[in-house]
Amino acid sequence: MSMEDLYQEIILDHYRKPHNRAPSLEDEDVHVHHSNPLCGDEMDLRLRVVDDRVDAVVFDGEGCSISQASASAMSDVVTGRDLKDALDLAEDFRKMMHGDEPARADDLGDGIAFQGVAKFPVRVKCALLGWMAVRDAIESYEQGASAHTVTHEE
Amino acid sequence: MSMEDLYQEIILDHYRKPHNRAPSLEDEDVHVHHSNPLCGDEMDLRLRVVDDRVDAVVFDGEGCSISQASASAMSDVVTGRDLKDALDLAEDFRKMMHGDEPARADDLGDGIAFQGVAKFPVRVKCALLGWMAVRDAIESYEQGASAHTVTHEE
Amino acid sequence: MTFDVPTLRKEFPTLSRELDGQRLVYLDSAASSQTPRVVLDAMDRYYSWSRSNVHRGVYQLAEEATDLYEGARAKLAAFVDADPRGVVFTKNATEACNLVAYSWVRRHLGEGDALLTTMMEHHANHVPFTFAARDLGFEVRNVPLTEDGQLDLDAARELVADGRVRFLAVGHVSNVLGTINDVGELSRIVRDAHPEAKVHVDGTQAVPHMPVSFRELGADFYAITGHKMLGPTGIGALIARPELLDEMEPFLTGGDMIRDVTLDGATWNDVPHKFEAGTPMIAEAAGLGAAVDLLTELDMHAVRAHEVSLTTRMLEALSSVDDVTIHGPLDPTLRGCAVSFAVDGVHPHDVGAMLGSKGVCVRVGHHCTKPLMRCLGLNATARASTYVYNDVDDLAPLVDGIEAARRFFAR
Amino acid sequence: MTFDVPTLRKEFPTLSRELDGQRLVYLDSAASSQTPRVVLDAMDRYYSWSRSNVHRGVYQLAEEATDLYEGARAKLAAFVDADPRGVVFTKNATEACNLVAYSWVRRHLGEGDALLTTMMEHHANHVPFTFAARDLGFEVRNVPLTEDGQLDLDAARELVADGRVRFLAVGHVSNVLGTINDVGELSRIVRDAHPEAKVHVDGTQAVPHMPVSFRELGADFYAITGHKMLGPTGIGALIARPELLDEMEPFLTGGDMIRDVTLDGATWNDVPHKFEAGTPMIAEAAGLGAAVDLLTELDMHAVRAHEVSLTTRMLEALSSVDDVTIHGPLDPTLRGCAVSFAVDGVHPHDVGAMLGSKGVCVRVGHHCTKPLMRCLGLNATARASTYVYNDVDDLAPLVDGIEAARRFFAR
Ligand SMILES: Cc1ncc(COP(=O)(O)O)c(C=O)c1O
Ligand SMILES: Cc1ncc(COP(=O)(O)O)c(C=O)c1O
C-alpha cells in the first residue's frame, strides 16, 4: 500500500487548498449534515439551487485529506450543472468507488483522480462523503419545501 | 477404553440381579427422586429409618447398567448402618469417583468395584446417582419431619 | 453425481486416528462434524498472515481480515440463496434462535398472543420461546407428531384456527427422528390463519446435508450452525429477510453495531452489522467460508444423494439386528441421516459405551429434545448419524457393536 | 523478571511478514493481539485429534474434547484468581457485558433507580446499559473525567449521594487513554451509598497486560475477551461470583444449559453451564487455555514490567515529535500501553495511512468510545498499542512515520 497510489498530487492540491469550503452559504436552500461513523468524519454541506441548477455548493467539517479533497473536487464539478446531471455524476462517482470504470470520466473533472481510492476499501467512504452529501442535498431539495435542513448519516 | 475396565463382573452381577430394587417401601420415611439430566436417568429412592439407622432402602427407575448396579451395591452397603456412617460412606464413594483413594475401602463393599469408573468422566454421574440419592434422603430425613417426599435433581 | 469417499476421508485428520488399534468410525456428525484440512488451513492463514481486527483498520492486515470476514458472509449467503445483508454471524445456532426470541418475539408477542412450535424441537428452538412466554405471558402451542414421526399438520390447522398464532418456530430436519419437515406447508397453514405471522426455521440439521434455498423456503428467519457443516466451532448464523432486520431492535449491543452513541442512547448501524456486536468470529468466518466452498464443490445435490443411499443401507443394517427399534420415518427420502434407535433391554448409555469401546462414536442421551423424549416415552436414545466422509464400510462396525452390546448386557 | 522479545517474536507468525519489503510493526494489540503458534497448535490438536462435541459423549473423543474445554475454564479461573464455577465462556467481552445487562440489570433496575458508568467506557460497556435504560426507564449517570484523563472520584461521590445507584459499570483500563482506573475505590464509593449495589468491571484491556485478581478486586462481574490476550477470536468470558450467578435468570437459552425441559418451561443447569447455551467454542477454549499457559509462563508481573518500560519509551518518543499531543496520563505507572495521540493539522486517518504504508499498524478512529471522543472534543485519535512482542525497535518506525505524515500533509 504505497502513499503515491492513494494520494495523487491533484488530491493533495485540493486537500491543501480546498475549493468552496465555507461554514455558511447565503440564501442556502438545503443544509445536510453527513457523518461517517467509522472514522468520525463530519460534513456540513449547503446547497443553493437556481432554475433547477446547482447555483452554489459549500462544505465544511472535519475529515481526512481524502474526504476533504474529494468534497472540494466534487464542488467544482457539480456547480452550474442541472440537478439531474449532478445526481447522475454522483452515481457515476459512487460506481467508480466500487471498482467500475466511470461512464463519464471527462465530466468527473478532478474527481477522476480518486479512482485509485477504490483499491483502499476503508477510504472509499471518505471519498464518497461529499458526493453522498450533495446527492442527499439535491434529493432533499426535490422532495421538500423551498428550504429545509436534513441531518443525515451515511 | 475397553469394556473390561469399566464393566467388572461384579458390576454386571449387580446389574443383572439388582438388590433392593422395588417400586415401594412399607413405612417409608423419605422418598427422593433424582435424575441425571445429561443421560436422562431417573431414580426413585425410598428410605426407612429406625433408631437413627438405615432400616431399609429401595430404589427404582431407569438407568444404565452402571447406575443400576451402583445403586444395588449401595443399598447393600448402607442397610443397617447408622445415618452418620452412611453419609460418611457416601462421601467416601463420591471422592473415589473423583479419583481419590477410598479411605474406607473395606466398608464400601461391592461399591469398591466401581473405582475404575472414575476413569470415565461421563459415567461418574451414573455411578453416583444412587449414592447421591441416599445422601439426600438421609439429609432430608434429618432436616425434615418424620415423613416427607423430596424431589431433588442432581 | 457421486464422490469418492476414501479420497475425501483423507482430508479429515481425526478420521485417520485409531482407538485401541481399531479404526475410528465417526457416526456423530449430527452433534458435530469433522473438520477438513482446507478449513483448518483457512483459519491458519488468517492467524499466520492477516491477524488483526476487522472493519476499522486503515492498514493492510485489517483490510485483508475484513475481506475474509465479509467474503465469508457473501459465500454463506450464496450457499443458502439469501441476501448477504440478511446474514448475521452468531456464535452458534442457539444464539441465532435467541436473537429472534429477543429482537422479534419478545418485542411483538404478549398476552393473548400465541406462538406455535412442535414436539420435536431441539431445546435451542424451544426454550428461548417458552422462556419469553414465561416473562411475557403469551401462549406456546406444540404441533404433535403422527405415529411415524411426522408433524401432524391437521392438528396444526386446529392449533392456529383462532388466529392468535403470530409466530412459528419449527425445525427443518429433526436431529433425533431425522424427519424432514414440510416447512413450506406448515408456514402456509400459519400464515393463512394470520397473514402477518413470522416464520423461524431451525435449519441446523438441514443446511449441512441438502440444498437449501432461503428464498424459496419463504421463511423470515433461518438458523444455522457452522460446526455441523464441516466448519469450525464458535460460529453460526441467522439468515433473515433484511427488510425485517431493518425494522427490528438489536439484541446484543456494543462496538461495531452502532452508528453513533451519546450518553443516553445510540443509533444503530446498517444490517447485518446492527446485530453483530463486538469483535466478531473472524478466523471462524474464514473457516466457515472454506467449508462452504468445499460443500459447494462437492455439490449439495450429490451430498444429499450420497446420504440417501447411505441412510438406506443404515436402515437396512439396523433393521437386521434383533431387538433393535428405529425411531422416525423408515423411508430414506423423507428423512435426514441421523438415525435414532433403541436396543431392547439395553440402556442407550451401555450401547454407546460398547460402541465406543470398538471405536464407533455415536451419541446417546436425550439429544436436547426432552419434550420429544417424553412424547416417545423414552429417557434417551442412541443415535448414529453420517456425513460426507461416511460410507457403507462404517455400517458393519456399528452392527457388530450393537450385537456385542446385546450379548454383553443380556440379563 | 524480563523476557527475550526477539525470541518470543518468532512464535507469532504474522510478525515475520513483510509489507512492501518493510518489517511489519504491529502496534494495534489493543484492538486484537497476535496469536502465537502454541495457541494455533492447541486448536489444531483439537481439530485433528479429538474433534467432537463436548459434555454428552460416551466415547473417547468427546471426553477429550470435554476435558479440553473444562480444562481451559480451570486455567482461566486460576489466571484471574476466580472460582471456575464463576467462569462463563462467551463469544467476546461484548457478550459478557450483555449477559450482565440482560440477566442482572434488566431484571433488577427500573424507574427510580440509577446506574453509574463513566465517560471513558468502550461502547461494549455502555450501550447494553443505556439500551436497557431506554427500555426500563432507569437513569444512567456518567462519572466525568479530570483534566489528565482520570475518573473524577469526587464527582462520583456526588453522583451516588442520593442512594439510587444500584449498579456500576466501569472499565479497568481505558482502551483510548490508557488510564488504569481505581476500580476498588470507585466500588467502595458506590457501595457506601448503596451496600447492595453490584459492580461490573470491563477488564478487556487489563487482563492481557497486568496481574488481575478477581477475588481481590471485589467486583461482582468482570468481562474478558480472548483475542486481545494472545487467544483466538470468538471467545471471551464473564467472570462472576458464582453465588450471584446461582440467583440469576439465564440469558441465552437452549441446549446444554438446562436440566429439564417441559412443554412450557425449563429448569436450569448448574452454573456456569446455565449461562452457556448451545455448542460452545471448543477449539477456541483450547486455544485460550494455551494462551493463558503462555502468559503464566511469561509471568504477568514481568509482562507488566516490560510494558511499563516500553510505554515510558513510547511516551518519550512521541513527545519528541513536534505537533504531537498525547491523550491520557503521562505517568506510565498510572496507565496501560495503549497510547492515543493527535498530530496537529493532520487527520488521524491520514496519520494511519502513512504509518500503514510504512508497515506500521496503528488504529485510528473513535475506538468505540464516542462519548469519550465528544468529551475530548475529538472525532478520532490515532492509537499505538504494544504487547509482549513489541520492543523499543518498534518505536523508531512509529516516529518516522509520524514525521513523514507531518511533512506530507503540511498545508
Ligand atoms: C475496553 C474495551 N472493552 C470492551 C471491548 C470489546 O471487546 P470485544 O470486541 O472482544 O467484545 C474492547 C475491545 O474492542 C475494549 O477495548
Ligand atoms: C436441530 C438442532 N437445532 C439446534 C441445535 C443447536 O446448535 P448449536 O449447539 O450449534 O447452537 C442443534 C445441535 O445441537 C440441533 O441439532
For the domain that residue C401 is a member of, what is the CATH number?
Answer: 3.90.1150.10
Q: In this prediction, what percent of chain A has a pLDDT beyond 90? A: 73
What does the pLDDT look like over B61-94, one tens digit per residue?
888 999 999 999 999 999 999 999 999 999 999 9
Nine cell digits for residue A73: 473536487
**Three-state SS for D188?**
helix
B-side interface with D, Cβ within 8 Å?
A: 1, 35, 37-39, 120-123, 153
Mutate to test the pocket of ligand 1, among D89, D125, D368 (most ligand atoms within 8 A of CB): D368
Rounded to the nearest whole angstrom, what is the distance from the C-alpha of residue D92 to the centroid of ligand 1? 8
Ligand closest to C29 (CA) is: 2
- Say yes or no for a CB contact (<8 Å) between B64 and C348: yes
The rounded distance, in Å, linking the Cα atoms of D277 and D269 is: 10
Are 3 or more Cβ–Cβ pairs between C and A shorter than 8 Å? yes
Return the residue in B36, B122, B132, B151 with the most chain D beta carbons within 10 A, the one to mutate for interface testing.
B122
What does the pLDDT look like over C307-320, one tens digit per residue?
999 999 999 999 99
Low-confidence ranges of chain C (pLDDT < 50): 1
pLDDT of residue C259: 80
Average pLDDT, integer, range D177-185: 98
Out of A1, A7, A63, closest to residue D347 by CB: A63
Rounded to the nearest whole angstrom, what is the distance from the C-alpha of residue C232 to the centroid of ligand 1? 23
Q: Which residues of A touch C260 (CB under 8 A)?
A: 35, 37, 153
The rounded distance, in Å, linking the Cα atoms of D393 and D397 is: 8
Rounded to the nearest whole angstrom, what is the distance from the C-alpha of residue D171 to the centroid of ligand 1? 10
Out of C127, C281, C364, closest to residue D58 by CB: C364
What does the pLDDT look like over D184-203, one tens digit per residue?
999 999 999 999 999 999 99
Residues D12 and D80 in one domain: no
- Say yes or no for a CB contact (<8 Å) between C357 and B2: yes
CB pairs under 8 A between A and C: 24
pLDDT of residue C257: 87
pLDDT of residue A125: 87
- Say yes or no for a CB contact (<8 Å) between B126 and C380: no
Q: Which residues of B touch C409 (CB under 8 A)?
A: 15, 65
ipTM for the predicted complex comes to 0.93
Residue D198 covered by a domain: yes
Angle between helix A121-143 and helix C60-79 axes, rounded to 10 deg: 70
Indicate if ligand 1 lies below 6 Å from the C-beta of D225. yes
Are 3 or more Cβ–Cβ pairs between B and D shorter than 8 Å? yes
Q: Across chain D, what does the average pLDDT equal?
A: 96
pLDDT-based confidence at A39, cuts 50/70/90? low
Kindly list the distances between the CA atom of residue A112 and the CA atoms of A105, A109, A116, D21, in Å, as whole numbers in the listed order: 6, 6, 9, 30
**If you write DSSP's letter for every residue of D287-335 in order, what string do you get?**
HHHHHHHHHHHH-HHHHHHHHHHHHHHHHHHHHTSTTEEE-S-S-GGGB
Q: Across chain A, what does the average pLDDT equal?
A: 89
Helix (H) or strand (E) holding B63: none
Count H helices and E strands in chain B, helices first: 5, 4
Residue C25 covered by a domain: yes
Residue spans per domain, chain B: 3-151
What does the pLDDT look like over A53-92, one tens digit per residue?
999 999 998 889 999 999 999 999 999 999 999 999 999 9
How is domain B3-151 classified at the architecture level of CATH?
Answer: Alpha-Beta Complex (3.90)
Residue D196 covered by a domain: yes
pLDDT of residue C2: 65
- Say yes or no for a CB contact (<8 Å) between C53 and D130: no
Q: Which residues of B touch D60 (CB under 8 A)?
A: 1
Residues C244 and C370 in one domain: no
The rounded distance, in Å, linking the Cα atoms of D217 and D214 is: 5
The rounded distance, in Å, linking the Cα atoms of C156 and C158 is: 5
pLDDT at D255 over 50: yes
Q: Does C368 touch chain D (CB under 8 A)?
A: yes
Residue C68 — φ and ψ, nearest 5°? -60, -45
pLDDT at B50 over 70: yes
Residues C208 and C68 in one domain: yes
Catalytic residue among D97, D337, D361, D368: D368
Nine cell digits for residue A35: 457523518
Residues D393 and D405 in one domain: yes
pLDDT-based confidence at A119, cuts 50/70/90? confident
What residues pair up with D363 in beta bridges, in sequence order?
A: D383
Out of A35, A39, A121, closest to residue C63 by CB: A121
Residues D249 and D329 in one domain: no
Helix (H) or strand (E) holding C315: helix C300-319
Contact call for residues C135 and D267 (beta carbons, < 8 A): no
Nine cell digits for residue C271: 444490517
pLDDT-based confidence at B1, cuts 50/70/90? low
Ligand 2 first shell, C-beta below 6 A = C 92-94, 122, 124-125, 171, 175, 202, 204-205, 225, 227, 236, 368; D 255, 278-279
pLDDT of residue C191: 98
Could you identify the atom of ligand 1 that is nearest to the CA of residue C279? 9
pLDDT at A104 over 90: yes
Nine cell digits for residue C100: 429472534
- Residue in the structure block whose three cell numbers are 443404515: C314
Contact call for residues B134 and B56 (beta carbons, < 8 A): no
Out of D19, D24, D134, closest to residue C265 by CB: D134
SS3 content of chain D, % helix, strand, coil (to 5): 45, 20, 35
The rounded distance, in Å, linking the Cα atoms of C363 and D277 is: 19
Neighbours of D, requiring at least 3 CB pairs below 8 Å, are: A, B, C
The count of structural domains within chain C is: 2
Neighbours of B, requiring at least 3 CB pairs below 8 Å, are: C, D
pLDDT-based confidence at B152, cuts 50/70/90? very low
The tally of CA atoms less than 13 A away on the side-chain side of residue D74 is: 6
pLDDT at B148 over 60: no
Residues C97, C102, C107, C111: what is their CA dihedral angle, to the nearest 10 degrees? 80
Indicate if ligand 1 lies below 6 Å from the C-beta of D29. no
Residues C252 and C387 in one domain: no
Reported pTM = 0.95
pLDDT of residue A1: 59
Query: Catalytic annotation on C368?
Result: yes
C-side interface with B, Cβ within 8 Å?
A: 19-20, 347-350, 353-354, 356-357, 364-366, 373, 378-380, 408-409, 411
What does the pLDDT look like over D259-317, one tens digit per residue?
888 887 888 888 999 999 999 999 999 999 999 999 999 999 999 999 999 999 999 99
Average pLDDT, integer, range D47-70: 92
Q: Which residues of D touch B121 (CB under 8 A)?
A: 63, 66-67
Q: Across chain C, what does the average pLDDT equal?
A: 96
Residues D287 and D305 in one domain: no
pLDDT at B153 over 70: no
pLDDT of residue C221: 98
Distance from CA of D374 to the nearest CA of C (A): 9
Residues C193 and C229 in one domain: yes
Residue C36 covered by a domain: no
pLDDT-based confidence at A154, cuts 50/70/90? very low
Residue D36 covered by a domain: no
pLDDT of residue C258: 84
Q: For ligand 1, atom 7, which residue shows the shortest CA distance?
A: D93
Residues D274 and D376 in one domain: no
Helix (H) or strand (E) holding D163: none
The rounded distance, in Å, linking the Cα atoms of B93 and B88 is: 9
Kindly list the distances between the CA atom of residue D90 and the CA atoms of A34, C231, D226, D239, in Å, as whole numbers in the listed order: 36, 19, 10, 10
| Strand segments (E) across C303-380 | 324-326, 338-343, 360-361, 363-365
Of C245, C262, C296, at which residue does a domain stop? Answer: C296
> What is the span of the domain harbouring residue D73?
41-296
Q: In this prediction, what percent of chain D has a pLDDT beyond 90? A: 91
In chain C the first and final C-alpha atoms are separated, in Å, by 48
What does the pLDDT look like over C6-16, one tens digit per residue?
999 999 999 99
Q: Burial letters for D118-138: b for 16+ Cβ neighbours within 10 Å, e otherwise?
A: bbbbbbbbbbbbbbbbeebeb
- Alpha-helix runs per DSSP H in C162-219: 183-193, 214-217
Out of D63, D258, D260, closest to residue B121 by CB: D63
pLDDT of residue A38: 66
Peptide bond just before D272 cis, omega within 30 deg: yes
pLDDT at D386 over 60: yes
pLDDT of residue C296: 98
Beta carbons within 8 Å of D118's beta carbon, 6+ residues apart: D142, D143, D145, D151, D170, D171, D181
For the domain that residue D167 is a member of, what is the CATH number?
Answer: 3.40.640.10
